[in-house]
Amino acid sequence: MIRFENVFKRYPSGREALSGVSFNLERGEFAFLTGPSGAGKSTLLRLIALIERPTRGTVLINNQNTARISRGRIPPFRQRLGVVFQDHKLLHDRSVFDNVALPLVIAGASRREIERRVRAALDQVGLLGRESHAPITLSTGEQQRVGIARAVAPRPDVLIADEPTGNLDPDLSREIMELFTRFNEVGVTVLIATHDLELIEHLPHRQLKLVAGQLAADSGRGGS
Amino acid sequence: MDSLRHYLTLHRQNLLDALRRLASQPFASSLTVLVIAIALALPAGLRVLVNNAGALNDSWQGAADFAVYLKIDVSTENAARVARAIGGRPDVANVTLIDRAKALEEFRAKSGFGEALDALDGNPLPHTLVVRPKSGAAGDVEAVAAAVRAIPETDLVQLDTAWVTRLRAMLALAGRMVDLATVLLAIAVTIVVGNTIRLEINSRSVEIEVVKLVGGSDGFIRRPFLYLGFWYGLAGAGAAAVIVAAALLALEPPVRAVATLYGSGFQLAGLPLREIVLLVVGGAVLGWAGAWLATARHLKAIEPK
Ligand SMILES: Nc1ncnc2c1ncn2[C@@H]1O[C@H](COP(=O)(O)OP(=O)(O)OP(=O)(O)O)[C@@H](O)[C@H]1O
Ligand SMILES: [Mg+2]
């Protein structure tokens, strides 16, 4: 589902964030991306979301070479990808409902469909009944969950998350990881960048460890 | 069918959202609308003035009259015969004969040159005909004049259409200048809207970035701004129509006073409905175009990081 083949990423500043990364994440797999700060975790996720392009090497998503996706084809590509951001990236001039509905509106879902899916997604993250609230009135953890609801509402094939538990307390963090596990159980391929090793050590999922832009350890299946 | 409905729903939402956005910042929005309104009211108002001047010119029937001086030795009977002949022409409305004897008497009575005239031997004035052609158009008047000139009894045809022609030329020039002003101010309106939309894009860069991140296409992102430009243009044009109407209302009494002095029933014409529609549609199109240029130039620059 997500396949990296000898991927390099050098930023215009000259900094090489990824140096020859290769791995393969099968459809329906769940993996954590770990490693110290500055190792290149966010960079790797940005390559998947086509926010950045690799300098060298190939990134294949669902057997599609992302290098062949032109600028104009990026929107439909992103519509099939769920992304959770560390800083939530919610729109603060809109209600929780409108935030979660955004990708559905973009995809052209009918009003009834939007209504149904938004409520289902908010139900999954435990925020049903908060539709009309402004994101700013929610706690950080709740905002993070709104971000997750938005990412899963269109039922993407792939879900990627960058530090989704960044500054949450351990209980909340565990809850959110359980949430991702549940999505994974219904077939969504999940890749989560985190440096909260304590949180994930008890979890059975595969771990990809990046150090200085290189894959230092891979606990898992899939192979490369 | 479903996707068409979705498309229409989206458009209606964008349209209303944009309106709400304008209403949420009434002061800033009104300033922009006012600038657009003034820029549009100027050419619209000038056009109204030129139209009125044209109407005034057309209503000047007297301008087509011309005087025919017959040869000094033409007898009164002969003059009457010539007058009847000209009056019988299909392109002539009527002919007035001013008898030379009567003209002299009148002149003597009114001018105060009585004694000077007595010093002359005989009447120096010829019989005069005042001819009113049916059509006031310069070419038609000239045709009648040419026919009259060919009559052997005619000494001189005094055709005073030169000033009419000159007035027409000046009106045409004024019209052309209004056209030019219209083009320049249309460009100004596009720039004003474009700049306003550019600021709006900058202030909403976070939102644009998020929409791009969750898969919003350029068209999806662009549309709200296009509608914003549309509303600015529409509101500006509407306000411009009101400004022109108010100006005409203010000008009406003095114009009527002048017209009465000249014994004319002339009335100021306002913007005809057709031109109001043109103004409003044009304003909306310009607003849309300004927004289009701004989005084409500035939306691409905002990419997720
Ligand atoms: N836009 C950018 N321009 C230049 N250098 C960048 C850019 N983004 C990241 N980098 C550099 O690339 C390297 C990898 O950064 P990245 O954000 O991928 O690390 P990370 O593993 O996500 O770190 P953290 O755990 O702190 O989030 C870092 O050295 C960083 O300074
Ligand atoms: Mg990071």
A77 neighbourhood in chain B, CB within 8 Å: 215
Average pLDDT over residues A143-151: 94
What is the reported pTM?
0.77
User: CA nearest B79: which of B23, B46, B125?
Assistant: B125
A209 lines ligand 1 (CB under 6 A): no
Q: How many domains does chain B have?
A: 2
Which pLDDT belongs to residue B252?
86
Token pair 């600028």 is at which residue?
A71
Shared-domain flag, residues B169 and B157: no
**pLDDT confidence of residue B62:** 54
Instruction: Give yes or no for residue A176 having a pLDDT over 90.
Output: no
Task: Assign A44 a pLDDT band (cuts: 50, 70, 90).
Answer: very high
- Sequence-distant (6+) residues with CB within 8 A of A12 are none
Asked whether residue B178 falls in the same domain as residue B140, the answer is no
- Give the closest-approach CA distance of A75 to chain B in angstroms: 4
Looking at the structure, tell me whether residues B143 and B173 fall in a common domain. Answer: no
Whether B83 contacts B155, CB under 8 Å = no
- Last residue within a domain, chosen from B130, B161, B192: B161
- Of B103, B136, B161, which marks where a domain is finished? B161
Closest C-alpha to B228, from B208, B261, B201, B257:
B201
Residue A224: per-residue pLDDT: 41
Q: Which of B161, B182, B214 is the last residue of a domain?
A: B161
CA distance B187 to chain A (A): 30
Percent of chain A with pLDDT over 90: 77
Q: Do A75 and B216 touch (CB under 8 A)?
A: yes
User: A42, A193 in Cβ contact below 8 A?
Assistant: yes
More confident residue, B12 or B177: B177
Paired tokens of B286: 């310009």
* Closest to A3 (Cα-Cα) out of A39, A43, A47, A36: A47
Q: Are A28 and A206 in contact (CB under 8 A)?
A: no
In a shared domain, residues B69 and B35: no
B-interface mutation test, from A42, A81, A105, most B Cβ less than 10 A away: A105
Alpha carbon nearest to ligand 1 atom 8, residue: A43
Residues B23-51 have pLDDT tens digits of: 888 888 999 999 999 999 999 999 888 88
Find the A39 Cα to ligand 1 centroid distance in Å.
7
| In-domain check, residue B226 | yes
- The reply to whether B141 and B25 lie within a common domain is no
Helices (H), chain B: 2-24, 26-58, 76-87, 100-111, 114-119, 138-149, 162-203, 205-213, 218-261, 273-298
Residues of B in contact with A91 (CB under 8 A): 206-207, 210
Name which of B3, B213, B304 is nearest A108 (Cβ-Cβ). Answer: B3
Binary contact (B214, A150; C-beta < 8 A): yes
| Mean per-residue pLDDT over chain A, rounded | 92
Give me the pLDDT at residue B124, please: 83
Judge whether B33 lies within some domain.
Answer: yes
Q: What separation in angstroms does the CA of A55 have from each of A58, A69, A126, B9?
A: 9, 15, 41, 41
pLDDT digits (tens, 9 = 90+) for A91-137: 998 999 999 999 999 988 888 999 999 999 999 888 999 999 999 99
- Token pair 């310009």: residue: B286
What pLDDT is recorded for position A113? Answer: 93
Among the partner-chain residues B3, B7, B207, the one whose CB lies closest to the CB of A91 is B207
On the question of pLDDT at B70 being above 70, the answer is yes
Here the CATH number for the domain that contains residue B69 is 3.30.70.3040
Q: Are residues B229 and B260 in the same domain?
A: yes
List chain B residues with CB under 8 Å of A110.
2, 6
Residue B305 counted as domain residue: no
- Residues A194, A195, A197, A202, Cα dihedral to 10°: 0
Sort out which chain B residues have CB atoms less than 8 A from A49's CB and list them: 213, 304
pLDDT exceeds 80 at position B160: no
**Is B303 within a domain?**
no
- B207–A93 C-beta distance less than 8 A: yes
Give residue B17's pLDDT. Answer: 84
User: Both B124 and B225 in a single domain?
Assistant: no
Same domain, B176 and B274: yes
Residue B173 located in a structural domain: yes
**Domain shared by B195 and B129, yes or no:** no
Residue A127 pLDDT: 92
Residue B29 belongs to a domain: yes
Q: Is A40 in the pocket of ligand 1 (CB under 6 A)?
A: yes
Tokens representing B264 are 């004319």
In chain A, the largest separation of any two C-alpha atoms, in whole Å, equals: 49
The token pair at A162 is 């960058």
On whether both B46 and B170 belong to a single domain, the answer is yes
Residue B27, Cβ neighbours under 10 Å: how many?
A: 6
- On whether the CB atoms of residues A124 and A188 are closer than 8 A, the answer is no
Of B206, B215, B305, the CB nearest to A79: B215
**B220 is a domain residue:** yes
Which amino acid residue places its CA nearest to atom 30 of ligand 1?
A: A38
Are residues B154 and B212 located together in one domain of the fold? no
C-alpha closest to that of A149 among A88, A69, A200: A88
pLDDT band at B161 (very low <50, low <70, confident <90, very high): low
- Cβ-Cβ contacts under 8 Å, B215 against chain A: 75-79, 81, 103, 106-107
Residue B304 domain-assigned (yes or no) = no
| CA A1 – CA A8 distance, rounded (Å) | 19
What is the chain B residue with the closest CA to A114? B6
pLDDT at B63: 59
- Domain holding B252, by residue range, is 2-59+165-298
Q: For the residues of chain A, what is the DSSP string, one character each?
A: -EEEEEEEEE-TTS-EEEEEEEEEE-TT-EEEEE-STTSSHHHHHHHHTTSS--SEEEEEETTEEGGG--GGGHHHHHHTEEEE-TT----TTS-HHHHHHHHHHHHT--HHHHHHHHHHHHHHTT-TT-TTS-GGGS-HHHHHHHHHHHHHTT--SEEEEESTTTT--HHHHHHHHHHHHHHHHTT-EEEEE---HHHHTTS-SEEEEEETTEEEEE-SSS--
Structure confidence by residue, pLDDT tens digits, B269-278: 878 888 899 9
Q: Residue B59: its pLDDT value, please?
A: 60
Q: Which residue has better confidence, A141 or B264? A: A141
Evaluate whether A78 touches B213 at the Cβ level (below 8 Å): yes
pLDDT of residue B172: 86
Do residues A39 and A213 make contact, with C-beta atoms less than 8 angstroms apart?
yes
Residue of B nearest to A79 (CA): B215
Centre of ligand 2 to C-alpha A41, Å, is 5
Q: Which of A53, A70, A74 to mutate to test the interface with B (most CBs of B within 10 A)?
A: A74
- Between chain A and chain B, the number of residue pairs with CB atoms below 8 A apart is 58
Same domain, B287 and B175: yes
In this model, does residue A203 exceed pLDDT 90?
no
CB of A14 within 6 A of ligand 1: the answer is no
pLDDT at B271: 80
Residue A223 has pLDDT above 50, yes or no: no
A43 phi and psi, to 5 degrees? -60, -45
Does residue B244 have a pLDDT over 70? yes
Give pLDDT tens digits for B78-130: 999 999 999 999 989 889 999 988 888 888 877 777 777 777 777 888 999 98
Residue A72 has pLDDT above 80, yes or no: yes
